[in-house]
Amino acid sequence: MNSIHLKSRIVEIAKNLGISDHQLPLELSNPPVAHLAEEQCTLIKADNLTALSWLLDQNKRDIDFCYIDPPYNTGSTFVYHDKRQAKSASIWSKHHDWLAFMLPRLVATQLLLADDGVIAISIDDYEYPYLKILMDSVFGENNYIATLVVCRSKNGKGSKANVAVNHEYVLLYGKSEQSTLRGVEDQDLEKYNKEDEHGRFTIDGLFRKKGDASKREDRPNMFYPLYYSQDGKVYASKISEDLREAWPVDSKGAERRWLWGPEKAQSESWKLYASPKGVIYVKNYSAPNKRIKIRSILDKPEYLNDRASREVKSIFGERVFETPKPINLIMDLIDCCSSPEATVLDYFAGTGTTAHACHLLNKNKSANRKCILVEHNHFINKSHTANAAGFKTTADITEFRLNKLSEDDQSFNFSTQEIE
């Protein structure tokens, strides 16, 4: 797969979506001869579509996790360009140009991801619905994993009437059905408030099937009696006279079925727990480094934008960038979505938060992730604080943070590559 295939895929999807191709950059530049440096972190200073098409031509089809935080099309004046809102005659109206900008980049990402790779995209509600449709076209609806809601400020935006919006989104897609999330570390250990000879446990899942295919007639062999004692132990047979009987019957008296067949219940009945009223649950045991599914609402104080602004101030001395992401949010996303040996790509690198997050994970959690960043040499307006602080381009901002990281910690190494 190379940039020729990339072009034909871009044209095909643009045609399906009615995105006019005069907006699409179909003249992808020829790949330069240089090869990708294999450092722990590589910063490619280039337009990201050029960089992605170059990576494709290098056959770099093993990206495990791609995190991007594209311009949200707010129309605001930031250190980078964030206004693609011209009215178009297409059905996408004011969203057309932003979609035309994102489309080729997402098509290239889909081709670069490993078969079990995952992409996470930060976005707010202005482009969210359009991005969802675009992602369904590029990655396929089947590969949609979820949308996470991130609480980004306590008070929300004052600029809008009626609602002070204080959240944004992270849209998650997999490359294929092989793509899975590792989940997050289970930090709520207090919930494991019961104990038996197998360890500490909590009871949070009913052993009676709920929802689809939960009726007795759906799986007749999973309708059988269990026996329980008053101290919560469950048995598949009546081994003593004082045991009581429990059936998979719901609160309305409807006959349902258990989750397991009788053989499994016989050999693994120690994993079951009975309430005094005979409701049977599956025990959920605590284990070292246990991971649980990520919740769809992310509202830790460390994820607030204020935190990110303070981080930028402490790294750069000034508020050189208006929309950085908090390190903890990106660390948690990387940790949840990719293995400790993963290659991570961020081609809207900005202040380089993703590289910083990868480095901290490598250091603190004995991981060994590699990180590829792309940021273009976009000239910074003379009136901007970043220019006054000595930064000529946005890629200089990214590089500054990487330099600082390697000065502060010699275990961090990076290289910079410039491609035309």
Ligand X SMILES: C[S@@+](CC[C@H](N)C(=O)[O-])C[C@H]1O[C@@H](n2cnc3c(N)ncnc32)[C@H](O)[C@@H]1O
Binding site for ligand X (CB under 6 A): 47-48, 69, 71, 80, 321, 323-325, 348, 350-351, 353, 374-376, 378, 394
Distance CA 265, CA 222 (A): 10
The DSSP code sequence of 350-417 is TTTHHHHHHHHHHHHTT---EEEEEE--PBPPTTSHHHHTT--BHHHHHHHHHHHHHHH-TT--EEEE
Please identify, using beta-carbon distances, which residue of 214 and 393 lies nearer to ligand X: 393
Please identify, using beta-carbon distances, which residue of 202 and 346 lies nearer to ligand X: 346
Q: How far is the CB of 86 from ligand X (least distance, A)?
A: 17
401: tokens are 């943070």
> Closest Cα to residue 41, out of 419, 364, 405?
405
Please identify, using beta-carbon distances, which residue of 64 and 322 lies nearer to ligand X: 322
**Pairing status of strand 113-123 against strand 63-68:** parallel
Q: How far is the CB of 114 from ligand X (least distance, A)?
A: 22
Q: How far is the CB of 94 from ligand X (least distance, A)?
A: 19
Q: How far is the CB of 286 from ligand X (least distance, A)?
A: 34
Distance CA 234, CA 226 (A): 7
CA distances from 221 to 217, 218, 271, 274 (A): 9, 9, 20, 21
Please identify, using beta-carbon distances, which residue of 47 and 335 lies nearer to ligand X: 47
H or E element that contains 313: helix 305-316
Q: Please state the φ and ψ torsions of residue 87, each to the nearest 5 degrees.
A: -70, 135
Q: How far is the CB of 116 from ligand X (least distance, A)?
A: 24
Asked if 150 and 170 touch (Cβ cutoff 8 Å), the reply is yes
The sign one gets for the Cα dihedral 317, 319, 321, 326 is positive
Please identify, using beta-carbon distances, which residue of 202 and 351 lies nearer to ligand X: 351
Please identify, using beta-carbon distances, which residue of 259 and 349 lies nearer to ligand X: 349
Closest-by-Cβ residue to ligand X is 350
Q: How far is the CB of 122 from ligand X (least distance, A)?
A: 7
Please identify, using beta-carbon distances, which residue of 130 and 260 lies nearer to ligand X: 130
Asked if 37 and 105 touch (Cβ cutoff 8 Å), the reply is no
CA distances from 333 to 181, 183, 276, 345, 361 (A): 10, 9, 41, 13, 11
Asked if 420 and 32 touch (Cβ cutoff 8 Å), the reply is yes
168: tokens are 């944004």
Q: How far is the CB of 356 from ligand X (least distance, A)?
A: 9
Please identify, using beta-carbon distances, which residue of 137 and 351 lies nearer to ligand X: 351
Q: How far is the CB of 84 from ligand X (least distance, A)?
A: 10
Please identify, using beta-carbon distances, which residue of 214 and 323 lies nearer to ligand X: 323
Q: How far is the CB of 218 from ligand X (least distance, A)?
A: 48
